[in-house]
Amino acid sequence: MANIIVLPQIGIDEESAVLVKWHVQKGDIVNIGDIIFSLETNKATFDVESEYSGTILELLVEEGDEVFVAAPICALGQQGEEYIIPDLKPESNKPIIKEVMDTKITLVQTTAQQGISPRARHLASKNDVDPKLANPTGPEGRVIERDIRNLIEYGVSSVTKVENPMDVGFYDKPLSRMRKTISKNIFNSLSNSAQLTHTASFDASCVLELRKGYKNTSDCSDITLGDMVMFAVSRTLPFFPDVNSWFMGDTIRYFENVNLAFAVDIEDGLLVPVIFGACKKSLLEISNETKSLAKECRDGTVSPNQLTGGSFTISNLGQYGIESFTPILNPPQNGILGVNTITTRVRVVDGEINVYPSMSLSFTYDHRALDGAPASRFLQSLCKNMENFTTLLAR
């Protein structure tokens, strides 16, 4: 009996994904471990490998289709072998479904489809047209074949930025799947929580001196100030369980370990991978894992499981010269830390003016779960640990 390849479980909170690319065709021979298709979720794009060897008997989904978890994707077996498509019934709360190739395959056809239709995607690829430049006229802002033909008619290529053919002087760019998710999550975060931000600064002389020393050692030369902040946070949070927690409505979930999430800027938006058990890892281990996860995010190879489960988040804008900002909570987490740039400040020491490097941290918390005084004590303790980073390393 031939094997039916189904959409795998993608993380713990994804119910569907878009099949963005086939890497095989009907009749191709594949081996275990060969990449057969690529998926796009709300958070990332990644490749799926075959668990079987054999011949591709049929492709049951088109590029651009959105598919439920466990829905059939393709049939794989011996040439000429028969196969049976399982009769899957969607739950009552699922979007409307459609039948493909006269088989009962559960494909999403929501009443508010967005993005680009498969026919439009194919036409755009064939004519080297960037569909992002299209003026979407399909249902709920979806780019359809007619929109791509308009671009072709006006001579738009994938590398050309031109006036909108429908209204001279501007062009519309549809939101990507990821940007829609980010905008929805950020809006819900601000709408459904009581967020408050405290900002405090510390003398960065110690961490700057250590950073200078690390640059001269082969093993630690890549350690950054951001890595040092993450290490300090991982050592401070265990003393503040109310911060290292989730607000669950009627309960607060406290974490035994620090699962440290951090924001990564990618081309299409923002991903937040997690370093699990950061409180048990060394500064060098945190530094290496941060860089590895950031690369996976930018390459589109990060596992969806690595993008959930964080107990606290860090967002670092210091490299952009930002002196202070208000980071937005990543629900249901109760805290997020914003890392700012280093500035020069002046203070009086023993009656004399002293100039020193100052670094500020912006801490946003959910006031429903945490009051101002304990939030301030956490930030105060974190700043003290940063000022005395050598002592923190020795603990």
What is the tens place of the pLDDT at every residue in 236-275? 999 999 999 999 999 999 999 999 999 999 887 889 999 9
Tell me, rounded to whole angstroms, the distance of Cα 158 from its chain centroid. 26
Nearest to 312 by CA among 278, 359, 265, 355: 278
Domain regions of the chain by residue span:
3-108, 118-174, 179-394
Provide the pLDDT confidence category of residue 166 given band limits of 50, 70 and 90: low
Judged by DSSP in three states, 123 sits in helix
Q: What is the pLDDT of residues 53-103, one digit of tens each?
A: 889 998 888 888 888 888 888 988 888 787 777 665 444 334 323 333 333
Tell me, rounded to whole angstroms, the distance of Cα 175 from its chain centroid. 16
End-to-end CA distance of the chain: 60
Q: How many CB atoms lie within 10 A of CB 24?
A: 18
- The answer to whether 76 and 30 have CB atoms below 8 angstroms apart is yes
- pLDDT at 317 (0 to 100): 96
* Same CATH fold assignment for domains 3-108 and 179-394: no
> Which residue shows structure tokens 């699962």?
259
Nearest to 56 by CA among 43, 37, 71: 37
| pLDDT over threshold 60, residue 346 | yes
Please give the backbone phi and psi of residue 366, each rounded to the nearest 5 degrees, phi first: -90, 110
Q: What is the pLDDT of residues 100-154, one digit of tens each?
A: 333 332 323 222 234 777 667 777 877 777 777 777 776 567 777 777 877 777 6
For the domain made up of 179-394, give the CATH fold. Chloramphenicol Acetyltransferase (3.30.559)
Integer Cα distance of 150 and 154 in angstroms: 6
Return the DSSP state at 374. H
| Mean pLDDT of all residues belonging to the chain | 83
- The answer to whether 378 and 236 have CB atoms below 8 angstroms apart is yes
- pLDDT at 138 (0 to 100): 65
- pLDDT at 158 (0 to 100): 43
Helices (H), 136-176: 145-153
For the domain made up of 3-108, give the CATH fold. OB fold (Dihydrolipoamide Acetyltransferase, E2P) (2.40.50)
Return the DSSP state at 175. P
pTM of the full structure:
0.67
